[in-house]
Amino acid sequence: MGSARRPRVAGHSAWCLNRPGAGDGINHRWASHLRRVVPVVFGVGHALGAIALAVCGQSHSGGDPGGVVYRELRPVVDAVPSGATDVHTRDGDATWQGDTCPGNSAAMPGWSQVFVGATFISTNPKPVVIVSINRVLVGQGWARRDTIVTEGQGPVAHWSRDVATGRRADAFAFAVPSGSEHWYLSASWDPPGFELPGC
């Protein structure tokens, strides 16, 4: 089963999947907002990440030198099922995160995750979507290991694999909100020196 640490969904801490009082999965208001802002955030975030890496990421140890793991994770978006619509993808290599919140003691400097992700719409039933994604990911060397991310939510489709460094990467697929036709597929890896954003 690998490490005992609780897997994190790319770009989000695990509690985002089912906050207390949010109902079944991510609440509908949040999901609607996600569908509106995802294309904009994907583009802006990727551009800012590239600038940050070029300007200040080179002087710190750790991260993903040469983008080796980033290139290993990028094919994950090829697992978006055939026939899916409204597909939006994002990806980003590790970037150095400085003290962006001076008044927040949790905002420790460190490297961001290496991540790739895709949102899409599929009218197929959940088992059909997961089987399609699983077929592609297993072919890429991922192993299926469904997991409980948040108590009360039930198992979430989860895959893992060891990447070039020998450290584990995680991939997830789930509907947003649970039971809807809107899906999120992601893969991420925590580089040496990784710190969750404190803001």
Q: Is residue 52 in a domain?
A: yes
State yes or no: pLDDT of 196 exceeds 70. no
Banded model confidence at residue 18, pLDDT cuts 50, 70, 90 = very low
Q: Is residue 155 in a domain?
A: yes
Quick check: bond before 177 cis, omega within 30? yes
Q: Is residue 83 in a domain?
A: yes
Cβ–Cβ < 8 Å for 113, 135: no
Q: Is residue 199 in a domain?
A: no
Cβ–Cβ < 8 Å for 199, 104: yes
Q: Is residue 148 in a domain?
A: yes
Average pLDDT over residues 80-106: 83
pLDDT in tens, 129-182: 999 999 999 999 999 999 987 776 678 999 999 997 778 999 999 998 888 999
Cα separations in angstroms, 67 against 63, 73, 84, 148, 180: 9, 10, 29, 30, 34
Percent of the chain with pLDDT over 70: 62
pLDDT of residue 62: 78
Name the residue among 73, 92, 85 with its Cα closest to residue 183.
Answer: 85
Both tokens assigned to 84: 């899916």
pLDDT of residue 166: 79
Residues 6+ apart with CB under 8 A from 26: 16, 17, 18, 34, 176, 177, 178
DSSP-derived secondary structure letter, 74: G
pLDDT in tens, 59-78: 676 788 889 999 999 999 99
d(CA 87, CA 27): 21
Number of domain units in the chain: 1
Task: For residue 32, give the 3-state DSSP assignment.
Answer: helix
Beta-carbon count within 10 A of 45 CB = 17
Average pLDDT over residues 117-125: 97
User: Of the ranges 5-9, 15-19, 78-82, 100-104, which one carries the lowest mean pLDDT score?
Assistant: 15-19
State yes or no: pLDDT of 29 exceeds 70. no
Q: Is residue 194 in a domain?
A: no
Place of tokens 């404190």: 198
Q: Is residue 72 in a domain?
A: yes
Both tokens assigned to 44: 């802006």
d(CA 53, CA 178): 35
Q: Is residue 195 in a domain?
A: no
30: containing domain: 14-189
Percent of the chain with pLDDT over 90: 43
Cα separations in angstroms, 106 against 41, 110, 135, 195: 24, 11, 39, 9
Banded model confidence at residue 25, pLDDT cuts 50, 70, 90 = very low
pLDDT of residue 121: 98
DSSP-derived secondary structure letter, 147: B
* Higher local confidence (pLDDT), 14 or 65: 65
User: Of the ranges 44-53, 96-105, 135-144, which one carries the lowest mean pLDDT score?
Assistant: 44-53
